[in-house]
Every structure is written in structure tokens, then in C-alpha cells.
Structure 1
Amino acid sequence: MIPHVILLVSITGLVFTYPFDGYFRFTLSVVVLATLLLYFQRLPTIRIATAVGVMILFFRTIIKYPFADEPLLSVLLHNLPSFGYYLAYGLLFRGLKVRDYTGNIPALVLLLSICDITSNCVELIIRSELVGRSLEEVLTRVVAVGVGRALLAVIGYYSLKRYRDFVLAEDHAARYAELIFIIAKLKAELFYLKKSSADIELVMEKGYTLYQTLNAAHPGELSQTDSPAARALAIARDIHEVKKDYYRVTRGIEEILNVAVSEEGLPLGEFFQIVEQNTRRYINGLDKPLTITFHYNGDLITDKYYAIVSILNNLITNAVEAAEAAGIITVTAQSSGGKLVLVVADNGPGISPEELDLIFAPGYSTKFSEVTGQMSTGLGLSHVKNLTESLGGEITVSSRPGKTVFTVTFLLENLLVNRPSLS
């Protein structure tokens, strides 16, 4: 990084003006130098200033020499005082501890002005250009330029700082949006695991009841490993082990969510924008010309946004996968009349009437991987339906060739912050 800073400052040193008759000049390089020294706190001040002085001396000499009717040594000596300026500037910048005053603008401008004015005076003295000149005129110009360049350096520093804060804020927002999506997926999976655990518990109870019935009907057969009673007991035990595995997984996910999830509510507009941002990133990574629009209206603050994000994510993903060339997808959220209505519509090929009755069934799918040829798990819409119903909502779908519309409706009273949720 240091070589880049030295080169940048040195190049801007070629932009200059002559305030007096002679070799003394004012350049923009000191503005860039001061800005970078303030912004990058770890840059070695004296080392950078010295190197810049050497580079500017080199550039000015090689540019001037081909057009000067004088020997190389003479050209070098004419430009050597500029090195004195940068050395003095670096020493003053460090000696006055200018970086300690970045939070105090007036003091910062004053100290930078002192560094600039004093260094210019050092260069003028080395050049002996004060002889025969009006001291008042020289100092007036030197002070005016010193203060002006100090102001520009401070503006440059705060502009860079503001830009950095803006970039960090954008990065934080992107990470926050990704976290929302990850947790939404985990919550959806947790819901499904809990539902499956309840089903496993029921199957285990039925298996054990079957064992008891068989054992009572044929006492003494339990010692025979291939007897119906022994088989029923083995099945019940196996199911019990599966149930314990499910329990460990659900507890692990719950512990993660208890750390990561904030139960504070989010406004509808905020988490809807998160869905939009993540969807656009997802679509940009596809080689598929799609047009997608998002609209939301109404005021709602809810702590059930993870479930809603998961529902929208699944429906939008399905719409994207179903869309053909020049596909158009519309996503809307309307909060009014005591209800929240989510609508995801696409202009894909549609769903046949026979499939409409099956699409929410767990495991039903018509999609498959073009890479592996394996069918999709068919759990997406099942998740959507279960999550919707867990919040007391309902989901409907209408479809014909060229238009498929999924509509999810919730009562706002079921979404309000701090209201217990079934999920």
C-alpha cells in the first residue's frame, strides 16, 4: 500500500502553479498527502513524506531536463528545495501529532495550515526567494494557500471516512439480510422436525401397543427373536432411537436460534426489503432473463417475520423455477382491514387441475435436478402450508397457462409482537 500512496501523491505533485517569479510552486500533492496520512493512521509519516519528496524531485528533474538549456546537476539543484518542503512537512505533521485532532476540525485545520505554511517558508528560505520580495505579499499568499489546502485535506479526510462508513453500513445490512434468511430457513426446518417428531412419537406408541397386544396373545414368544411380538418390540425400540436423534437435532437448532434470534418486531417494509434484496441477488446469479417487481403497503410490526420470510422465499423460488424465458414475477404484501395478504404471481406455464390438489402434499414434486436427475424433495410448499397454518393463516392457489397466483392471508392479530405463536 505504501508504494501506491507515494506514487499517487508524487503524480499529483505534477499539478502546480508558480505564485512568484522563480522555481517555487504550489501543488495539489500536499492535499492528497495530508488526506491519506489522516485516513490511514498506520502509514509512517516521515517515511512517506521523505519518499514523496524524493519521487517529486525525480519526476520534476526528468521532465524538466530535456527542455532545459542547462546541465542535469543544475536542474536537480533547482528542484532540490522541494524535497526540503516534504521533509519539513513530515517532521511537523508527526511532531505536532496532527492525527490526534481528527475529531476537532478547527484544531485540525490550524495544525495542517501550520505544517503547510512552515514547510513553504522552509522551501522559500532554501531557495533564497524571499530576498528582494515584499514579505507581506509572500506571506499572504503562503498563508492563504496553506489554509486552503488544509481545508481541502480535512474535507477529503471526512469524505473518505463518510464513504467508509457508508460501505460498512451496506455490508452490515447485507449480512443482516443473509442472517434473516438463514434463520428463517432454520425455523422452517425446526417446525418440520417438530412435526415429524410428533408423528414419530405416535408411531412408536402404536408399535409398542402392538407389541403388548401380541405378547398378551402369545405369552412366552418374546424369547423367540423372529416372533411377531419380538419384531414389534424391536421396531418400537428402533423408532425410539430415531426419536432421540430427532430430539437432539431439534434441541441443537433451538439453542442456536435462542442465541441468534431477536424477538423484537420488524416493520413490514424492512423485512420485505430484505426478501427483495436476497431475491435479486439470487436471480442475478441465474442465467435466466426474469423481471420481478415487489410492492408492499400498510403498517405492520411483527416478531413472526422469520416464518413470513420463509413463506415468501419458498413461493418466490418456486415462481423463479417455473418461469420461462422473459418471465415476469410479481410479489405484493398488503396490510389492511385487519389482514396481511401476500401474493406471489408468475406468468409461467401454470399448474394442471390434477396437480393443484396435490402440490401441498409432503413429497409431491414435478421438479428434478438437471445435473443429477434426482427429483426434488417436494417439501417447499408443504413447509409453506404448515407455516401458514401455524400462524392461523390460509393459503390458496389459482393457476392457468400464463398465470399462477399463490395467495397467503393472515389475521393481523395473529402477527402482533409478543402474541404467542404456534410455531
Structure 2
Amino acid sequence: MQILFIAVATAIFGELRIVPFGWEFRFGLGSSMFFLLLLLMNNVPMLRTGVVTGMVVVLFRTLTGRSFIIEPSLFWEVLVTHVPAMFYYIAFAFGMSRIPKQFFQSRLFLLGIIVTFVDFYSNMVEIGFRKILIETTSLSLTEWMTFLLVACIRVFFVIGLYANIILKQLQAVHFEQQKRYEHTLSVGASLYSESFYMKKIMDEIENLTLSSYDHYRSLKKERLYAHSKHALSIAEGIHEIKKDAQRIRAGLLKLHNDTELNNEMLLSDIIDFVIRANQQYSKWLQKEIEFSCHLHVNYLTSHHLLLLTALNNLVANGVEAIEGSGSVRIRVSEQRKMTIFQIEDTGEGIKEGELPYIFVPGYTTKYDQRGVAATGIGLSHVNNIVEGFNGEITVNSIEGEGTSFVMKILTAKLKVGE
């Protein structure tokens, strides 16, 4: 099917031509189209394609020729005048079949030089058969040089077009891979942050289990057997909850490990991801928000998923706080062996009376259009992540002007090799 497509396309485009010598030899777009399609469909058998294309071109030119249309009885005479063109395509396809396939991808300039001479040689073959089948005048040196020049121009024009097509395809593939990677990274960050949060819950459950068991022993020591038995039952129940939580966390970690993620990321790549994600989020919210980044330190970190979660939460809060249009600025610097992440927005700000409670789990000032409150765990989760690094997070806000969050974490806790 591909061979037939190449043959028909070549025959049609071959009608866009000039006839420089006054006889049936022509410079047309057919040869350029033939070359381009051989590059794009280089898995077809070249020689067979050349034979089929040559036959289709000859038949097409014969049946659409003016002489045949005026006088159909001249079919064989018209056919003979076009037969030499078939040998051009056979010779060209044979030459293409001798070129290593890797030249089609990585050595285009050398390919252009080789194909220029293949094209020139194929024209010589066609003219040779014309001399055998039809009496034609000999060509001068100037005319032969014209052949070579035309061959060079059209070959490199086609290679330029081919390179542009390949570049567009690579860009499309890269864009698709980038989208897939960002989605995987987002899912991985969510899974990892949830497992991190689950670990904190498990630690609290463990402490509660120990407290319940201590309470059981105290009651038993005081011979309050009924109460001690009840306390033991509570401790056992809490212990079962802990085991369920362990199974859930193990499942989350397995899902996270199954995602194809790099073990390390540069801070600059983390910030780029956060900005791209929130640019899409702001468009979804129909807000015009300008994002900017000032990166004064950059290094590899293996804790990229936790940083992604924390920074994405803070930037998303900034996006949500802005009405209509505004800006969000991210600044990353290093002072006194501390990496400092500063996120500033030009949103509505936080009321002074609410500032002491914003990191409390469950506290929220966000309500949807139905008046349903948000979960209120976003900032508390960020706070837990920062505390997990033994860092600190502070907030400054002026109502009506904007908010600034500052996370400070020891560089040694984040940087690979420290």
C-alpha cells in the first residue's frame, strides 16, 4: 500500500514541471516527492518501489498526455517517449537502497551529497535510454552542469523539508514524554507525601498504644480488673488500627516505587515543575497570574518529592488567594548553611487573627461555592514536612496586599553528598 501511495503521489507531482530542452525530458516535483517519501517511508523495499513508481509514472504520463488524448491510436508511440523516465526512478531507487539507513537520521549533510550524485547519475541513465529509444541531441557541458546544480538544489531542499518534519515529530514526542513524566512525578509526589503523612499518624498511634498499655498496667496494679481489661481492649484495638495503617503505607510506598521516577532532581527542575503545574491550575481557575523565579542556589536533592509537595501546596495557596490577576514569586537562596525557600503572592492576605492557626490541622478559611469547607490539611502537611527536616516555616501577611511564606531547611538535609 505504501509503495502504491509513493508511486501515485510521484506521478501526480511530476506534472508540476518544466521542460528545459524542448523534448520530453523534464525537471518536475515528482522526483523530489519520490525522494521525500523514500526518506519518510524508508522501510519499504527501495528497488521494488522504484520499479512500481517508474511503471505508474510512465502509464500516468501516457494516459494524460495531450497526444494520446487527441489521438488514442498513438498509445504505443506516446508510451515509448515516456518509458525512459521509468529507468530514472529505478536507478534512483537502486542508489538509495545502497545508502546505510543510519544516514537517514544522523548524517543528513553527507546523505545530501551522496543523493545529489545519485540523482545526477539517474538523470544520465534516463537520457541514455532516451538516446537508445528516441533520437535526441547531445547535451553540452553547460547543460550537464545545470543537471548537477538542479540535482543539488532539489536534494538539499528535500532534506531540509525532511529534517523539519523529523524535528516536529521529535518535538511532539518530547512534549508527550514531558507531559507523561510530569503526570508520573505529580502522582509519585502525592503518593510519597501521603505515605509520609501516614508515617506521622502511625507514630502517633504507636504513642497512643503505649499510653493505653501503660494505663492498663496501672489499673491492673491497682486491682481494678474490669477497668484494666477495658484499657487492654482499647490498646489492642489501637494496635490493630496501627497494623492496618502499616499495610496502607506499605501499599502507598509500593505504588510510589512502581512509578518511573528519577531518584534525584535539581532544585531548578523542582521549581520549574511547580511553576508549570500552577500555571495550568491558574488557567483552570481563569486567573491571569505571572510566575517568576529567582534561583540563587542549585543542587541535586533526593528529597524532591517532599519538596514538590510542600512548594506546590504553598504556590497553589497563593494562586487561590489571588482574585482575577496577580503574581507569585519564588525565591531560593542559601544563608548560613540553610536553604531558604520564599513564596510570595499578591493575593488577599491572611487576617492577623487567623495567622496563629493556619498550621493547625483542620483549620481553613476556604469554602467552595456551595459553602463547603476545605479539608484544612494542606498547610499542616507542609508544616509536618518541614519539621521532618528539622526546619522551620514562617509566614508574614498583610491583609489586602499579599502573603509571604519562608521555609528554612538545613542544606545538608537536602543536598546530595552532604
Deviations 1:151-174 (A, max 9, x none): 444444444444444444444444
User: Does the 8 Å contact 1:331/1:342 carry over to 2?
Assistant: no
Secondary structure at the counterpart of residue 191 of structure 2 = helix
Structure 2 residue runs of 5 or longer lacking an equivalent are none
Structure-to-structure mapping, 1:141-290, within 5 angstroms: 141-218=146-223, 221=226, 228-255=227-254, 257=256, 262-264=262-264, 266=266, 268-284=267-283, 286-290=284-288
> Structure 1 residue 357 and structure 2 residue 366: aligned?
no
**Residues 96-107 of structure 1: matches in 2 within 5 Å?**
96-97=98-99, 99=101, 101-102=103-104
The alpha-carbon distance between structure 1 residues 398 and 287, as it changes in their structure 2 partners (threshold 3 A), is closer
Residue of structure 2 in register with 1:17 after alignment = 18
Deviation string 1:217-236 (CA, Å, 9 cap, x unpaired) is: 45664xxxxxx444332322
Q: Secondary structure at the match of 1:41?
A: coil
CA separation of 1:316 and 1:8: change in aligned 2, threshold 3 A = farther
User: What residue in structure 1 maps to residue 93 of structure 2?
Assistant: 90
Q: 1:107 to 1:320 in 2, by over 3 A?
A: closer
Q: Is 1:327–2:338 an aligned residue pair?
A: no
Task: Say if 2:7 and 2:54, in contact at 8 Å, map to a contact too.
Answer: no
Distance 1:143 1:380, change over 3 A: same
Listed one character per residue, the Cα deviations across residues 226-261 of structure 1 (whole Å, up to 9, x for unaligned) are xx4443323222211111122223334445556755
Task: Give the Å deviation of 1:10.
Answer: 5.0
Residues 17-73 of structure 1: per-residue CA shift (max 9 Å, x gap) = 2221122111233234323323433234356545655665677678764x9983356
Structure 1: runs of 5 or more not aligned:
222-227
Instruction: Tell me how many residue pairs correspond in the alignment.
Output: 407
* Preserved contact between residue 349 and residue 401 of structure 2 (Cα < 8 Å): yes
Q: Which amino acid aligns with 2:126?
A: E
Measured after TM superposition, the shift of residue 340 of structure 1 is 3.7
For the 8 Å contact 1:98–1:108, the answer to whether it is kept is no
Match of 2:35 in 1: 34
2: distance between equivalents of 1:43 and 1:368? 62
Shift of 1:389: 2.5
Q: How far does residue 140 in structure 1 lie from its aligned partner after superposition? A: 3.4
- The percentage of aligned residue pairs carrying the same residue is 26
Could you tell me whether the CA contact under 8 Å between 1:388 and 1:395 is conserved in 2? no
Whole-Å separation in 2 of the counterparts to 1:366 and 1:57: 78
Letter in 2 for 1:70: I
**What SS does the aligned partner of 2:194 have?**
helix
* Alignment deviations for residues 339-386 of structure 1 (CA, whole Å, 9 cap, x no partner): 443333334333333322222111222334558x75322111111111
Contact 2:318 2:328 in 1 (8 A): no
Alpha-carbon distance in 1 for matches of 2:18, 2:300: 62
2: distance between equivalents of 1:122 and 1:70?
30
Distance 2:295 2:225 in 1: 70
Q: Write out aligned runs for 1:401-412 (5 A).
A: 401-412=400-411
- Which of 383-392 and 164-173 deviates more? 164-173
C-alpha spacing 1:352/1:110, structure 2 compared with 1 (3 Å): closer
Q: Deviations over 1:278-316 (max 9, x none)?
A: 2223333x1513222212131231413333222221012
| Distance (Å, rounded) in 1 between the aligned partners of 2:373 and 2:11 | 63
1:390 matched to which residue of 2?
A: 388
Instruction: Please list the CA deviations of residues 48-102 of structure 1 after superposition, one character each: whole Å capped at 9, or x if unmatched.
Output: 545655665677678764x9983356586455654453344334433x3553644
Q: Secondary structure at the match of 1:199?
A: helix
Change (3 A) 1:165 1:74: same
The worse-fitting range, judged by mean Cα deviation, of 384-393 and 146-155 is 146-155
TM-score (norm. length: structure 2):
0.80
1:189 Cα deviation after fit? 1.8
Change (3 A) 1:10 1:271: farther
Instruction: Give the partner amino acid of 1:99.
Output: K
Give me the whole-angstrom Cα distance separating, in 2, the residues matched to 1:6 and 1:402. 68
**AA partner of residue 89 (structure 1):** F
